[in-house]
Structure formats: C-alpha cells, structure tokens
Structure 1
C-alpha cells in the first residue's frame, strides 16, 4: 500500500490509524481470533429515498432495482448463491455483490447474522427483527432536510441500545443501505467534519459533486442550530440504519463489549454520531474498545481531490482529530488479481469495494486462517454457482 501509516500483520490483515500508536494491535486481533465463534453478529438493512436519485449509487443499476438491493444481498449472505432466492440480485454496472464475499467468509467462520430491518419496501423473506412498523417505509431523501421524524429516530436508537446493552459477547455490526455513503457524507458534514473528496461509494469514480449538492441542500433546508444533537442530525439528513447502529454501539460499550464496525464511511458516521453524544473526557476510553473493519480496496482508494492520500485513512484521521481520539482500523488483505472470475477482478480496478460486512467478515476469516489462495478459490466457485443459478432461472422462465 502507498501513502499513510499502516502495518501488515502476520495474518495478512492491514492495521491503520493513529490507534496504532497507543493500542496493542496484536493483543486486540488475538482477542477477536479467540472469540470469533462467540460474537453477536448483526446485519442492519435499511432504506432511504436518497438511493433513488439517478446516478447516486451503483448498488443496483437503476433507482427501481436499488429498492430491493438490501433484501437481495441479505438473502445471498444468509442462504448462498444456489438457494432459490425470493429477490434477485440487482444488476450492477460491474463487479458482483459484496454479499458473496461475506457469504464465503461467514461460512468459513460458521457464523450467521441476526438481521435488523428498517425502512424497506419489502418484508424480508427470512427471520428478522423489526424495531418499528414495517409500513413506515424508507427515509425521505436527505436533500429534503427532513429525512425522518424525530420520534422515529429516537425509537430506533432506543431499540438498538436495548439490544446492545443486553449483549454478553463482542459485537460485529454490518449493513446494507443503498445510498448510505451519501447519508454518511451528510451527517459527518453536519457534525462539522471536513469530508469533501474523502467519501467513497460503490461506483469506480464516486459522484462526489452530486453528493455534495444533495448534502448542501439538505443541511440548508434543515436549518439546524449550531452543534446539533445526533438525533436532530439523523432526523434531518440520515437514514434508519444510523440510529439503530448508534444505539447498538452505545449499548454494547455500556455492557463492556468489544465492537467491530464492519464497513467504511458509514461506520465512521455511526462512530461519530455516538462520540457526539459522549462527554469529551470519556471519548478516548470509549474508542479503546472499537475497531473499524473494512476491505483493502477501500483503504487503497485515492480519490482525485485527496492529494494522493489514502482517502479512507484520511477521513478516519479527520474524524479522530475532530473528537480528539485515536482510532484503529483493520482491513482484510485479500486480493482478487488471481481470480478466474472477471466480476471479482473488477474489485481490483475500483468497483464496489465494500458492503454487507465484506471487509470485517473477510478479515476475521483471514485472522482465523483462511489463506489468500483458499479465499479466491472459494469465491470463484460461488460466483460460478451464482451464474449457474441465474442461468437455471432464465431457462425455467423465471
């Protein structure tokens, strides 16, 4: 890797961030390695009308297809590519759903998530937890400055907190929220953190100017007071995933658990929203139990305006500096250069990059001993199964 400070660990996982200076990384990695089969693993699915803006997201090639991305990805993670899924994976401009990587890794680890659903247009055809009436539907577009009612945000936050507080084991949080990098951009900006040119997305070249325009519209329309509360900010320009994840995080830390936030800028937004609600003198201790877990593709990315610095690490540094804490991240070291499947090699040229916990689950698999060669071989097989399943459905007129 080029650019910023990072360390290649013996397992092949990359560690990065200012937390390297003060935390015993080997010890923390060993703790996760020893407890992998005994973690509370959550996948949060959520919907926002922000995803229906043309050109905002590649998590589905069309605004309509992005309405069912979350359910389709969750089905793939839970059941694998050969299961006759109720919701088809949406067409992508390139690459393949990161849920396939998550499926391979979670199968190796022998763990499955508890799914929490909020703001979807479909009722998921698998066991899931609802913290609100499913009829409420997606959040409004962030550009409205009125994405959700305050009462809704508080309900979701409280629901997440109650689950987190009851935990007796380490927490892994993952998500699938089409348009979620845009709402992350919005809440981070609303907190006064400079994120311009540092927010990624599922496109090879994320539509930064479009996101910036929507965020500016939303924050202007919201007319928030100076130093807004996290609840007010999420209600103005957020999505339903955020309050659930913030609640889970706050509850888990209160119950003394270690936390792995599986994702990119969306998880930095969640961490920032949580830190915003904590007394400044408690923040360093709070982040001492938290790791960000993502993919090497996201950590490698240098967006054009980021002056040749690794954008995600740079963004994490901005968050750390804003709250005067040292954050620690881990990235899976797997690469797909040697893959036989083009849709996997697409990851190496900047498509998709992260999602559905692909980074966190694959780094846990790497820590647990799944080699680079085995990971690529397993992913190649499952892509083959995915194509086989699609072809069979086509042949049967589905």
Structure 2
C-alpha cells in the first residue's frame, strides 16, 4: 500500500475565525509543511512551527507517523500548493496556493491541476493507493464545493463544538462573489473547485481519477474533506469502486453524517477507533474530547493496522508526542515548541478548522 499525502494552503484559512492552525498568519502558512516533516522525519525540521494546540492536542500527522512506525507503509508527499518550503521530499505538480474563497476565483487553474494530477495517478505502478490531505481551512472549502455541487452539506470540525453556521456564512459569501447559486456546478465539479475550493482538492481528485482508470484500488483517507473529493469524482463521471476510511472521532460527529454521505456517493466506508480512551495521555484525551478528529491520512492509515497492533501504535504516538514537546500532562514549556494556535484548528491537517 502506498500512502500519498497532498499538502497545500489556501488564503481561506486566514479568514477571521476560520482556522487557528498558526498563532499568526506567517506560522499558519508553515503548518502543512510541518505536517509532512513530522510524517517523514517524526518532527519538524525546516518548518519553524510545531502543530500542537496549547491544550496538548497535536496534529493528526503525529498519529499517522505513529502508524508508519508500526506498519511501515510507502509514502509519497505531493506539493499541492504549499506556501512555504518543507524539508520533506515532494512531488511537484506545479500547484499554486489557493486564494480566499470570497474572491471570485479560489483556484484559478483547477482543471489544469486536475489533469496533471490525473496523469500522475495513472502513472503509478501500485496496486492500491491511500490518499490523504493537509490543508488549513479545508472543511470550509469542502463545504463550499459540496454546496456548489448541490450535495447535502455537512462537515466536521477540529473543535468539539462545530461552528457550522460560521462556515455556512463564509460559503454563502463565496458563492455570491462567484455569481453562483447552490447546486449550480452539479455538472461541472471542477468549476466548483475553481470558485470555492482549494488546490488540494483537484490534486487528490485528479490522482484518484487517474489511478482508478488504470485499475488501481483507491481509498480516500480522511473525513468530510474526502467526502467532497468523492463528490467531485462522482459528479465528474468517475464510477469505479471507491473507499473512504476515517476515524471513529469523525464517524461519531453528527454534523458529518458520514454514513449517509458514503451511501449517497457509493463509497465503501471503513471506521477505525484507535482506542485512545484507554490511555491517560493528554493528547489522546484531547482527541477523545473532540479536538482534531482527523487529517493527514489518519483514519486511512489506522485502517492498515493489523489486529493486535493498535496498542503499539498508541505507544509510538506517545513517543512522537514527546518529540513534539508534549508529555503525558500537556505541552512542556521547556521544549521550545511553537504551538500551532489557540485550539480552534489545532492541527493544520485536522479535518476541520472552523
């Protein structure tokens, strides 16, 4: 199994109250780059930000890295619009960062990105792919695309209480700026991304389309952001079998309504509970309390863990947390780590910032 992580940024994340994946805008732009470094090396290397909330909830990249330590899957990072450099090797598909969705155009070259990604996906020799993402503000852009497609819109959040009304107001403003009504892009899914999406979306959708067309099994690893990708694929006429693998944290979120969405989009749904409720470590407790929930392929890679090995994943997660400056009681003030924000979107790749 090859895991492909698409990492990118959108100026949508800078909207007040949308995401706090960085304590300041210059740090927020770094968080996807830090995510991929954590996944590759176990800690940030070039990036000056460590995506950890002050409550001790780390980016889902920490969980995905812990699974990698146990399962040892192949990994490819795709630059899907990174605003800052990363120390991790990446595949460059010439994807620029995304614009604020309240502008008339959010992803100007969505169709071209999709085609380049499609060629890349079709070229891969793997029998199976698991696709993940990290992009601050990603559930807001997911809501935008789902609304433009005319799909019933429900998205999760990295907050215990999902500020869905705030997201809906942003999407309403975004559609007005693009002169679109809800459902106007049902026959043109890439137009939905162009108007109110982010650059990670055409990248993942293109890779998935190319891989499916070449006979590769594809699993979308994530939550409601991946539901938007599945909707784009179905509206684009891609009817091959498709799977979505997520965490119990998202599946238990009533605002996500994943089971109904997967039924509607003909996606096989896999839900994995990492068993964090059996440990006292603060990071696991914060996930159980509803922070972060998903992102950076977390739910997808958790589904790869063999029976009896989840305890080893929890052990490795504690070790990754220690490298990120989090002990069992919280963020270590002596670690020198820069927290990602104020907890609104504690982790760049979390399936959700408000």
- Alignment TM-score, normalising by the size of structure 1: 0.77
8 Å CA contact 1:61, 1:90 repeated in 2: no
8 Å CA contact 1:204, 1:351 repeated in 2: yes
8 Å CA contact 2:128, 2:216 repeated in 1: yes
Deviations 1:155-207 (A, max 9, x none): 21111101111222211111101101111100111111121xx2112122122
How far is 1:93 from its partner?
5.2
> What is the alpha-carbon distance in structure 1 between the residues aligned to residue 310 and residue 286 of structure 2?
17
How far is 1:112 from its partner?
3.9
> What is the alpha-carbon distance in structure 2 between the residues aligned to residue 164 and residue 385 of structure 1?
34
Correspondence 1:379 to 2:338 = no
Q: What is aligned with 2:89?
A: 127
How far is 1:361 from its partner?
0.7
Other structure's SS at 2:133 match: strand
Matches within 5 A, 1:1-398: 39-81=1-43, 84=45, 86-92=47-53, 94=55, 95-132=57-94, 136=96, 138-149=97-108, 152-168=109-125, 169-195=127-153, 198-224=154-180, 227-278=186-237, 283=239, 286=240, 288=241, 290-303=242-255, 311-317=257-263, 320=264, 326-365=266-305, 368-387=306-325, 394=336
Which of the two has greater helix per residue?
Answer: 1
> What is the alpha-carbon distance in structure 2 between the residues aligned to residue 356 and residue 113 of structure 1?
12
How far is 1:85 from its partner?
5.0
Q: What is aligned with 1:11?
A: none
Taking a change above 3 Å as real, the CA distance of residues 388 and 243 of structure 1, as seen in their structure-2 partners, is closer
Deviations 1:144-163 (A, max 9, x none): 231021xx212211111011
Q: How many residues align?
A: 328
> What is the alpha-carbon distance in structure 2 between the residues aligned to residue 115 and residue 93 of structure 1?
28
In structure 1, list runs of 5 or more residues that go unmatched: 1-38, 304-309
Deviations 1:285-342 (A, max 9, x none): x1x2x21011011101124xxxxxx73323434xx1xxxx532111112121222321
8 Å CA contact 1:297, 1:348 repeated in 2: yes
Deviations 1:262-285 (A, max 9, x none): 01111111111111111xxx73xx
Deviations 1:373-393 (A, max 9, x none): 332222223222322797676
8 Å CA contact 2:185, 2:192 repeated in 1: no
Other structure's SS at 2:271 match: strand
Deviations 1:348-389 (A, max 9, x none): 111110010111111111xx2343433222222322232279
Larger Rg: 1
> What is the alpha-carbon distance in structure 2 between the residues aligned to residue 84 and residue 235 of structure 1?
33
- Alignment TM-score, normalising by the size of structure 2: 0.86
Taking a change above 3 Å as real, the CA distance of residues 358 and 227 of structure 1, as seen in their structure-2 partners, is closer
Higher relative contact order (CA 8 A, sep 6+): 2
> What is the alpha-carbon distance in structure 2 between the residues aligned to residue 52 and residue 129 of structure 1?
26
In structure 2, list runs of 5 or more residues that go unmatched: 338-354
Of residues 62-71 and 169-178 in structure 1, the stretch that sits farther from structure 2 once superposed is 62-71
